[in-house]
Amino acid sequence: MKASGPDLPGPEPLDELDRYDRQGRRSPLDEIADQILGEIRERGTYRRMRVLDGLQGPRMVVDGREVLLFAGSNYLDLARHPEVVEAAVRGARDWGAAAGGSRLITGNLQVHVALEEELANFFERPAALAFNTGYMANVGVIPALVGPGDVLVSDALNHASIIDGARLARCEVVVFRHGDVESFAEVLGRVRPKARRILVAIDGVYSMDGDVAPVAEIVKRAHEVDAMVLLDDAHGTGVLGKRGRGTAEAAGVLGEVDILMGTLGKSIGSFGAFIAGSARLRELLVNTARSFIFSCALAPAQVEAARVSLRLIDSEPWRRERLAENCRRLRQRLAASGISTSPSTTHILPVVLGENERTMSACERLLERGYYAQGIRHPSVPRGKARLRITPMATHEESEIDGLADAIIDVFSNEN
């Protein structure tokens, strides 16, 4: 059966053999699934996964059709860099296909230690600790720092991993208006007298809007009342800042963020995540972060690939420059035809269409023209804010950027 997209609505055929047990009774599990999935279909937010084939890069095969890819997070196109791929091969050859256990038992390989030392040096912090995913990093670090009696002050558009980390911590959560420094200051002043500890959590780049948090002001005001700051810079790492150190570097506060979280699987082109901060923070996480303690260590191939990518971010700054230029070109081409990508100022460009059906129709029509820009709906974005989420890469050619712009403009003009 041909695969459909992750946000493509419609029923999915069920295997009738799975609907009844050997005595002919209806499976309780299937009854639960059918009820919940039925409700999801009625809301028009049913999801399926597309199938991609080929080397990760600007052009791939999506659901059997060769297209230009504008829907990924391999922003700098390092995932297919020959040196990165060779490092992964070497890591598997020298260390095996798996680490063989959790870091506290048998999985703490020399390559993990080397990666963490290099991450710490890269971000000019005393120490770093690798996690398997950014999600696991956030749900590990938040409960390690706050709990009942404490407060997490959170931007209204923070990533789901921050929300879930706060739930696991069982701390109070107080939300401020997205990107609003005055709202943040008001919330901070209100919670300071009653909170034992305060952890402020923000994204660096917001993954669906493409705007950047007011990092410098958040850090300044948080530290004035002895609050800690967690910066989730999954989408800024490697891309923003003069040297690719992310939104904190761009804001001039790289050394002032208490807890820096980043991923290895986006611009760094490998897999995994990390927390960078003080040596005492690392020690605390090794001893208390459940998502670290109870997980197998990263595979050596991914670790070695990430180490090479960090060096390439320094030695090939043209990738950041080309990415920025590609985004500028696309943004200007669309704006000239009245198509807004606001509030984005980065490499994530949203085109908000509002309605789910309209958004997914535009996504499919672009795919037919040879461009994959994924449609995003609730719960990834608020209801009524469905959008195309467009993510150019550093290695897209100008003609490819122009072709995408023309295709989007054509899709919009045919709607009106």
Annotated active-site residue in 81, 112, 159, 266: 266
Strand pairing category for 349-354 and 386-390: antiparallel
Annotated active-site residue in 207, 267, 291, 295: 207
Annotated active-site residue in 235, 347, 385, 396: 235
pLDDT at residue 24 in the model: 63
Q: pLDDT tens digits for 185-239?
A: 999 999 999 999 999 999 999 999 999 999 999 999 999 999 999 999 999 999 9
Confidence grade of residue 111 (pLDDT, cut at 50, 70, 90): very high
Three-state SS for 174? strand
What is the DSSP annotation of 232-256? E-TTTTTTSSTTS--HHHHHT-TTT
**What is the distance between the alpha carbons of residues 253 and 214, in angstroms, rounded to a whole number?**
11
Bridge partners, residue 155, by sequence: 176
235 is catalytic: yes
Pick among 3.40.50.12780, 1.10.3720.10, 3.40.1440.10, 3.40.640.10: CATH of 82-315:
3.40.640.10
The identity of residue 73, as a single letter, is S
CA distances from 182 to 61, 174, 177 (A): 46, 14, 9
Confidence grade of residue 15 (pLDDT, cut at 50, 70, 90): low
266 is catalytic: yes
Q: 202 exposed, middle or buried (CB, 10 Å; 0-12, 13-18, 19+)? A: buried
Mean pLDDT of the region 63-71:
94
Query: Domain spanning 16-70+318-415: which CATH class is it, in words?
Result: alpha beta
337 is catalytic: no
Q: Tell me the domain boundaries of the chain.
A: 16-70+318-415, 82-315
**What is the distance between the alpha carbons of residues 232 and 204, in angstroms, rounded to a whole number?**
6
